[in-house]
Amino acid sequence: MTDRSRSPYRSGRRGPGAGGSGGKGKGQGTPQKAAPSASPGTTVRRVAYDVLRAVQERDAYANLLLPAKLRDRGLTGRDAALATELTYGTLRRQGTYDAVLDACIDRSLSSVDAEVLPLLRLGAHQLLGTGIPPHAAVSATVNVARRSVGQHRARFANAVLRKVGARDLDAWLEIVAPGADDPVGRLAIVHSHPRWVVEALARALGDDPAGDLAETERLLAAHNERPEVTLLAKPGRASIADLVNAGAREARYSPYAAYLPEGDPAQLTEVRQRRVAVQDEASQLVALALARVQVDGSDTRWLDACAGPGGKAAMLAGLAGQREARLLAAEVQPARAGLVAQAVHRSVRDAGRVVVADSTRPAWKDESFDRVLVDAPCTGLGALRRRPEARWRRTPETAEELRPTQEALLQRALDATRPGGVVAYVTCSPHLPETEGVVEAVLADRSDAEVLRAADYLQEVPDTAAGGDGRYVQFWPHRHGTDAMFLALLRKRA
């Protein structure tokens, strides 16, 4: 049993249905005999289970593993859609389901076998988070259990899931969620986030912990919604008209973005030709803001200091090529550098070049660049809609461990920028120690940089100004429909 499998809530409250045969592995009905071959419903659930178990046991990424599993099992159309919903829905609501399961088992949830717990979560999602009939949800999940973990543990799963299905989600939340005297704890259970994440997001939003945390709740709810696919028309290689003709609709803010309401983006001709990529709208806009800042003198040398996997580098390479500038995209991991090379391939004027390099110990000379992007490694708390498992992997200690690297990257970026040039510091996290905290710590040791008001370069997007004097930009899923990207723009003084 890994720590990631343990419920971070453990209310200690047990409602009706707790204890009893669920903890003893005795079913409340006669299990059906296993079919000689898997039905489509069993195959769909087995794919979801395999991904959930890989996420739990070896830190796999669902967004990378699930498409491969769907191809391997030949699932398409409605079956692929159901497998996707079961996988991502279970990951998003894992904390809620753990609290319910904890009330249905007469021993600690952390004592449940590691290979069984994902099955219980998968079954709970079908029972509490979908319209799947309860008998079908239980029987299909138990069939997967028989094939994957054996008859004895399948009986245990059957007993527990029958208890889960005795109530709907609202009724369970009244039992397992804390009351109004613990608003953070209640939001953590109801909206399935670790408590520390709820607290961190509330601070970033400026919500009063003693208040009703109304905006925090809207944000948490947005994290549990399925986001639309956002496409990037690479500058100089594709247009919004191309995307609209392919079935997408024009985006609200980015002049290079469109939303794909349905379908697999990998099937689009423009994506296969690498003229179009999948990229969140806020990611596009922070790169665009860097390109919009006026710089005096030379504007021919641009740097993406943390370029993998290459989305922002693709956009910057196109913009640079249109201005007869060049982009150097640096990435410390060779495999990710290969992805960057694919992303910038055939950019305008072939403006993008890729190098495997550690930007905290750069190979280039100081004051070599006119524009520098630092898309720093972070906790990823801004992308929980797309990568829901990140909320269960990250801890406050994770953020502290990342802080020295984030500060070193920003320090070296400022060193690499010529006087009069500009640096964009970006994180896909709104967590204050990773955002404002890093910028202010770096600037406290330097007198050669000033913070520009970033919202002035994104005037088409409302309500993004953040920080005490509004000089940073913070995107939010519940306000803008994007990932929660943070942006600081700094000019190197002459």
Quick one: pLDDT at residue 84? 96
Is pLDDT at 240 greater than 90 in this prediction?
A: yes
CA-nearest of 53, 85, 47, 81 to 66 is 47
Distance of CA 74 to the CA centre of its chain: 26
- How confident is the prediction for the chain on average, in pLDDT? 92
CA-nearest of 387, 451, 352 to 55 is 387
- Residues 470-485, mean pLDDT to the nearest whole number: 98
**Terminal Cα distance for the chain, rounded:** 56
CA-nearest of 323, 327, 317 to 234 is 317
CB atoms near residue 24 (< 10 Å): 13
DSSP-derived 3-state class of residue 283: helix
Quick one: pLDDT at residue 287? 98
Report pTM. Answer: 0.90
For residues 241 and 322, the answer to whether their CB atoms sit within 8 Å is no
Residue 468: pLDDT band with limits 50, 70, 90: confident
Quick one: pLDDT at residue 38? 60
| Active site members | 428
Quick one: pLDDT at residue 18? 38
Contacts 24+ apart (CB under 8 A), 436-440: 436/466, 436/467, 436/472, 436/488, 437/403, 438/376, 438/403, 438/406, 438/407, 438/410, 439/410, 439/472, 439/488, 439/490
- Condensed to tens digits (0 to 9), the pLDDT of residues 294-303 reads 999 999 999 9
DSSP per position, 386-414? T-TTHHHH--HHHHHHHHHHHHHHHHHHH
- Residues 53-78, mean pLDDT to the nearest whole number: 95
Q: How many helices (H) and strands (E) does the chain have?
A: 21, 13
- Residues 343-356, mean pLDDT to the nearest whole number: 98
DSSP per position, 96-117? HHHHHHHHHSSS-GGGS-TTTH
Share of the chain above pLDDT 70, in %: 92
Is pLDDT at 41 greater than 90 in this prediction?
A: no
In the DSSP assignment, the letter for residue 382 is G
CB atoms near residue 371 (< 10 Å): 25
CB atoms near residue 460 (< 10 Å): 10
| Enclosing H/E stretch for 375 | strand 369-375
Partner residues linked to 459 by β-bridges = none
Quick one: pLDDT at residue 494? 83
* Phi, psi (rounded to 5 degrees) for 486: -110, 145
DSSP-derived 3-state class of residue 260: strand
| Enclosing H/E stretch for 370 | strand 369-375
How far apart, in Å, are the Cα atoms of 348 and each of 239, 241, 286, 387?
13, 19, 20, 31
CA-nearest of 320, 332, 302 to 422 is 302
- Residues 139-161, mean pLDDT to the nearest whole number: 97
Is pLDDT at 380 greater than 90 in this prediction?
A: yes
- Condensed to tens digits (0 to 9), the pLDDT of residues 415-455 reads 999 999 999 999 999 999 999 999 999 999 999 999 999 99
DSSP-H helix ranges across 194-310:
195-205, 214-223, 240-245, 269-272, 281-292
